Amino acid sequence: MMGGSRPLTLYTKSYTLISSSIAPRFNPHRPIRNRTVLMSSSSSHPDPSPSPSPSPSSSSSAAAAAIDFLSLCHRLKVIISSSSFSFSTTKRAGWVRRGVREPESVADHMYRMGVMALVAPDMPGIDRDRCIKMAIVHDIAEAIVGDITPSDGVPKLEKNRMEKEALDHMCNLLGGGSRAKEIHDLWMEYEENSSPEAKIVKDFDKVEMILQALEYENEQGIDLEEFFQSTAGKFQTDVGKAWAFEITSRRKKSSCCFDIARFLLWPYPPRGAVSVVFILTQQLLFF
């Protein structure tokens, strides 16, 4: 969840939708698609035996490689956000409130979290498939209620109730059954932070946000310090801490490059020129 503000009418409309006595309602903004039952499968291969703990240097290298890969995935998010599906065009409220140009959608955010779960290092006792599934459903209720943030002034208990009702409504649209139950259980597990997998995905939620903040800072020349402050010291897992450290380290380098770019173009640096000089400085100094 992120900071942001939005008209109260959004919540009024959402409440009307999910509180209706008619459970499965037709949404005119939702494309009509054939309903497909996805069959789950389990691997026949046993879990690998736990590997020795990596050294600090190898852990740092692994984190750097992971962040490189995830930064490249950012290009896919730009394409995905142009989808005509209403869920894919639900913009993350915090970016909208801060004037970010072409901000990511909720679907973009969940997609890269799923990729994070896919490329994360092996962790003994952790169900990777469950992490991936949890990542791609954890914000699914926002398809109805929107991205409710602390800045909206909605009490936490009320927010939780609205999102739970929205989730139940969406599961009802599936007609119940094992798939609806799985989505419901994954969502509840994440909300309650009740498993090792939930703790990892909670960390991925924060990691994806600060990585996105860094990318917006570099691309648009804006300061999004509050996002880094809001997540500092709140990571629960080793992988979350390692990736967050890698991102904040890169941000310090980027900040240095921006300072050099502004100095070279003083006293009236055009915004586009700052970005160009920033990129050149970054390439010369660090890459």
Q: Which residues, other chains included, contact 72 with Cβ-Cβ below 8 Å and sequence gap of 6+?
A: none
Q: Which residues, other chains included, contact 206 with Cβ-Cβ below 8 Å and sequence gap of 6+?
A: 231, 234, 235, 240, 244
Dmax (CA) of the chain: 65
Q: Where are the beta strands (DSSP E) in 84-201?
A: none
Question: In Å, how far are 65, 90, 219 from 95, measured between CA atoms?
Answer: 26, 12, 14
**Residue 205, pLDDT score:** 93
Which stretches of the chain score pLDDT less than 70? 1-56, 58, 69, 72-96, 98-99, 254-287
State how far the Cα of 107 lies from the Cα of 31, in Å rounded to an integer.
16
pTM over 0.85: no
Q: How many CB atoms lie within 10 A of CB 130?
A: 20
Per the CB < 8 A criterion, the answer to whether 209 and 224 are in contact is no
- Residue 205's Cβ-side half-sphere holds a number of Cα atoms within 13 Å equal to 24
State how far the Cα of 148 lies from the Cα of 283, in Å rounded to an integer.
39
Indicate the DSSP class of residue 44: S
State how far the Cα of 107 lies from the Cα of 87, in Å rounded to an integer.
7
| Tokens (6 digits) for 151 | 């800045």
**Residue 241, pLDDT score:** 95
**Residue 93, pLDDT score:** 60
**Residue 72, pLDDT score:** 59
The burial of 29, by beta-carbon neighbours within 10 Å (0-12 exposed, 13-18 middle, 19 or more buried), is given as: exposed
What's the CATH number of domain 9-18+56-286, 1.10.340.30, 1.10.3210.10, 3.40.50.970, 1.10.10.60? 1.10.3210.10
The number of helix segments (H) and strand segments (E) in the chain equals: 12, 0
**Residue 275, pLDDT score:** 55
